[in-house]
Amino acid sequence: MERDALRGLARVERLYADRSARARALAGEGRKVIGYLCGLVPQELITAAGLVPYRITGNPGEPIAEALDYFEPNACNYVLNCFQQALRGRYDFLAGIVIPHACDTVQRLYGLWKFWRPPDYTHFLNVPTVVTPEAVQFFREELELFKESLETFAGRTIDRAVLNESIGLHNENRRLIRGLYESRKTNPPALSAGEMMRLLVVGTAIPADEFKSLLVEVTEEVQGRTVSGNPEKVRLLLYGCIVDNAGLPELIEGQGGIVVVDDTCIGTRSFSRDVEIGNDPLGSLSRVYFSEFLCPKIVPDWQASRFAYLADMAHDYGVKGVVAYLLSWCDPHKFDMPVLRDYLNEAGYPMLAIEDDYTLSSSGSIQSRVQAFVEMLRQQD
């Protein structure tokens, strides 16, 4: 276990400043760190194998350069950015990678990474597009293959008890995160969107047990806070694909809005459901990571009513509107946008769609649009 003089949100700040430091240190101590992308990979299996799960992210401050020698320029800039980190040797501490079929670009990333920068361990997790009993069974078999490959790599059997123990640990983290989200239902929320985002991002880069102790510290700290601040900020729901840094929530906060809840990959999609502990842990993981997972890549139904959960979430958190963050060239999210916009409008939640190349380099224009949106929502009251 890491020893650190800092506690709670102060420790989060330090970890966030150099997100991979802890994973690099663990790798230096001989622990095997496994990088994964997207919310479709069960970290419980990696933890159960005695390995350290680490969510691969990009560095939004870096323009895309050498990744374009391998990838097309009309590919998702987030994925290009992640791959560029690998090309620059920043993921050399990873003993392996697990990449799911989350979208066309992520699928192709697997082949490129494996071909040009192969770590010791590589695994691709196929994810069906539809949700049917056969698809659930297929994904379960994919998890079985994933488990076997981890066992071979780690030289360790993942039996039911070990897996259930790991599920219990990750569930505990989910429970603690949900508790922190509850604290954001107050007006103003007890925890800012930037603080929450930094905590979540840090949590994907350290072992699950260390994240748990961090969550406990942050929960105590937040519970001890006297809620103060500007209750006039307009409460917003942030919807989108990958938001893996605090830049956007803080930009929104600077314009009079405040993100109090989200539907994003690192946000609620990753922790809103617990994995059932029992006789069939792989079946339970299949439900949480596939059939109930809210990813536009998975098409359970074509009706617009599939977005009903968002209207419910908006209602629960008392939001006035929705900011959708879209990455350029992101087919799964962009095809959903007009239908989602119309659905939310009818439900009484106006939506602002922001398109970006992952860098927030046009933040001036984004700020203006957020400011105008917030003003419009304020006038609706």
Partner 1 sequence: MNEKSELSKAVRSTETARSVYDILKRWYARSLLAGVEGRPVAWCMVGAPPEVLSVFNVDTSWPENYSTACAARQMAVPLMEIAEGEGYSKDLCSYERNTIGYCKEYLRLGGIPPDSPQGGMPWPSMLITNSMVCDPRTKGFQAYNAHYLKVPMYTVDVQMPPYGADVHDPKVREHYRKYNVAQIWGLVRFLEQQTGKKLDEAALSEAVKNSLKAQRLMWGVHELRKSVPSPMPSEDQFACIVPQLYLAGQPESVEFYQSLHAEVKNRVDNGLGVIPDEKYRVLWVGIPPWFNMGIFNYLESLGAVSVMETTYYVWAPVEVDLSRPVEAIVDIAWQKICQIHALGAELSTEGMGSAGLVLKFVRDYALDGVIFHRVLSCRAISFGQAHTARRLRAELPVPCLFLESDMADPRTWSDSQIKENIHGFLNIIDAQRP
- Residues at the interface with partner 1 (CB under 8 A): 68-75, 103-105, 107-108, 110-112, 114-115, 122, 124, 126, 128-130, 132, 134-135, 137-138, 141, 145, 296-297, 299, 302-304, 326, 328-332, 334-339, 341-342, 353, 355
What does the block give as tokens for 194? 């930037």
Question: Quick one: 233 or 341, whose CB is closer to partner 1?
Answer: 341
Question: Quick one: 16 or 329, whose CB is closer to partner 1?
Answer: 329
Question: Quick one: 155 or 302, whose CB is closer to partner 1?
Answer: 302
CB of 74 to partner 1, least distance (A): 5
Question: Quick one: 18 or 72, whose CB is closer to partner 1?
Answer: 72
Question: Quick one: 198 or 297, whose CB is closer to partner 1?
Answer: 297
Name the DSSP class of 89.
T
Which residues lie below 8 Å from residue 344, measured CB to CB, with a gap of 6+?
307, 310, 311, 314, 322, 350, 351
For 78, 110, 122, 376, the CA distances from 101, given in Å and listed in that order, are 16, 9, 14, 39
What does the block give as tokens for 333? 């999210």
What does the block give as tokens for 259? 């993100």
CB of 304 to partner 1, least distance (A): 5
Q: d(Cα 243, Cα 359) in Å, to the nearest integer? A: 11
The answer to whether the beta carbons of residues 99 and 37 sit under 8 Å apart is yes
Name the DSSP class of 291.
I
What does the block give as tokens for 19? 């997100």
Residue type, 294: L
Question: Quick one: 217 or 336, whose CB is closer to partner 1?
Answer: 336
CB of 297 to partner 1, least distance (A): 7
CB of 71 to partner 1, least distance (A): 6
Residue type, 264: T
CB of 97 to partner 1, least distance (A): 12
The answer to whether the beta carbons of residues 143 and 282 sit under 8 Å apart is yes
Residue 225: count other Cβ atoms within 10 Å of its Cβ.
Answer: 11
CB of 139 to partner 1, least distance (A): 10
The answer to whether the beta carbons of residues 136 and 292 sit under 8 Å apart is no
